[in-house]
Amino acid sequence: MEKFLIAALGNIGAAYHGTRHNAGFDVADVFAAKHGVAFQSGRLADIAEIRYRGKLLIVIKPTTYMNLSGRAVKYWMDKERIDADHILVIMDDIAIPLAKLRLRASGSDGGHNGLKSIQESIGTTTYPRLRFGIGGEYPKGQQVEFVLGKWADSELPIVRRKVQASAEVIESFVVRGLPMAMNEANKLDFGPDMI
C-alpha cells in the first residue's frame, strides 16, 4: 500500500491552541475527524493512521515544539520508509495573505523555524509543503506576538473555510498527485467576498 506522511506543524499545549502558528495542527485535527480517526500519543508526535482510496496516510502532529519539528518528521519518515516526495508538511506562513493557500513542491524555509528544522533533519528542501497564509498585518517588531497570537474574530470565518479546504488538498495530493493538487489549491481565494 502506498504510504504518505502528513506532517502538520504547531506547538503542543493549551496556551498555543487557536493561535496562528498552530494552523497546521488545526488542519490535521479536522482531517482526522473527517475520516473518523483519533490521534494517539506516539514517539515524538501525536499520530493518526488514515486509509484513503487505497493509500495509507500517517498523519503526525510533532510534540517536539515547532523549532524541533524535523526530529519527528525524520523519525516517522525512517520508521515508515517514506520518501521526501511522499511527505506533505502543513504550516502557517506570514508571507502569504490570509485569503490564500500555497502548495509547493520545494523551497526555502522562508524564516519558518519548523521548515528550517525539517530541512536540517532530512537534508533537503525538496519536499511538498502546504503553506497556510496567516497574513502579515502586524506592527513593526510584533511578528512573534502576531504569529503566537490567537485568530481575530473577524478572521475566523476565513480560517475555518481554509482549514476545511486544506483537508481536501491533502486528499487531492495523495490521490491525484502534486501537480494537479497545486493547480487546484493555488487558485483558491478565501477573501471576504468569497464567504
Which CATH number characterizes residue 52's domain?
3.40.50.1470
Distance CA 46, CA 39 (A): 6
* Per annotation, catalytic residue among 17, 21, 35, 112: 21
Give yes or no for a contact between 88 and 8, defined as CB atoms under 8 angstroms apart. no
Please, what is the angle between helix 113-122 and helix 69-80, to 10°?
Answer: 40
How many domains would you assign to the chain? 1
Q: What is the pLDDT of residues 141-191, one digit of tens each?
A: 999 999 999 999 999 999 999 999 999 999 999 999 999 999 999 999 998
Taking phi first (over 0 means left), then psi (-120 to 50 degrees means alpha), and beta for anything else, what does residue 107 get? left
Residue written as grid cell 490521490: 175
Distance CA 189, CA 195 (A): 10
Q: What is the pLDDT of residues 103-121, one digit of tens each?
A: 999 999 989 999 999 999 9
**Domain range enclosing 181:** 2-194
Q: What is the pLDDT of residues 7-38, one digit of tens each?
A: 999 999 999 999 999 999 999 999 999 999 99
Residues 6 or more apart whose CB falls under 8 angstroms from that of 66 comprise 9, 10, 11, 21, 113, 114, 117
β-strand partners of 50:
57
Predicted pLDDT at 91:
97
Q: Measured over all CA atoms, what is the biggest interatomic distance in the chain, rounded to whole angstroms?
A: 49
Catalytic status, residue 21: yes
The pair phi, psi for residue 83, each rounded to 5°, is -80, 160
> Which element (helix H / strand E) includes 4?
strand 2-8
Helix, strand or coil for residue 145? Answer: helix
Give percent of the chain above pLDDT 70: 98
Sign of CA dihedral 21, 22, 26, 31: positive
Predicted pLDDT at 195:
44
